[in-house]
Amino acid sequence: GAGVSQSPSNKVTEKGKDVELRCDPISGHTALYWYRQSLGQGLEFLIYFQGNSAPDKSGLPSDRFSAERTGGSVSTLTIQRTQQEDSAVYLCASSPPAIAGVNEQFFGPGTRLTVL
Amino acid sequence: GQQLNQSPQSMFIQEGEDVSMNCTSSSIFNTWLWYKQEPGEGPVLLIALYKAGELTSNGRLTAQFGITRKDSFLNISASIPSDVGIYFCAVPPRSGGSNYKLTFGKGTLLTVNP
């Protein structure tokens, strides 16, 4: 079956512009996560969705970042007034309904954002 | 917040050699995870450890959950070129309940020369 897909795969934008990054999770996965990966760094948690609700937005770096999820499926991460420090790979992951222990998170290939 | 110290940052080895990397923390965790990320892809879970002292294998990969619960090790035996990638350790929050919020180490970049 299809894995997590993200689009675009690459995005180059000018400082000050808004960007939207899209994530299509694996069908049937109730949880969805966004992470940011900067060069030479590990993954930084941004936000978590359970269904369409975001119980934890604590990782969003500033109010320029927002995300939504509709229909318990597709999610969009929006960055307004982009800054050069926003340049990174944005990774989306999804996981099935929890059973026990830590849910395995299945990652998409990421969107590489470059802000000029 | 939680911080993981992962080492080494990078390794350059010859095909057939064994590899060892580790993650340490000043905090105690109940779960340790190891992921591999190949170029242009997202991380993929390799091994999950849930019990202190646990030793788990997945093919040529072996990971151990340190007895102090503050560290974990990943070993790769008889490396092959397709082992190339970045290996990350990761942990959920110490308080539990919010297992989704993983903290990742900065990764070990592995290069294997054929």
pLDDT tens-digit profile of B60-106? Answer: 999 999 999 999 999 999 999 999 999 999 998 766 555 577 889 99
Judging by beta carbons within 10 Å of its beta carbon (0-12, 13-18, 19+), is residue A103 exposed, middle or buried?
buried
Contacts of B104 (CB under 8 A, 6+ apart): A42, A43, A44, B4, B35, B88, B89, B90
Residue B33: which of B20, B19, B43 has the closest Cα?
Answer: B43
The confidence score (pLDDT) of residue B95 equals: 60
Residue with tokens 């939207």: A20
- Give me the residue from A45, A108, A109 closest to B102, CB to CB: A45
Decide: helix, strand or coil at residue B83.
helix
Q: Give the model's pLDDT for residue B97.
A: 54
Please give, rounded to a whole number of angstroms, the shortest distance from the CA of B43 to a CA of chain A.
6
Chain-centre distance for alpha carbon A33? 6
Which positions in chain A touch B105 (Cβ < 8 Å)?
42
Do A4 and A92 contact (CB within 8 A), yes or no? Answer: yes
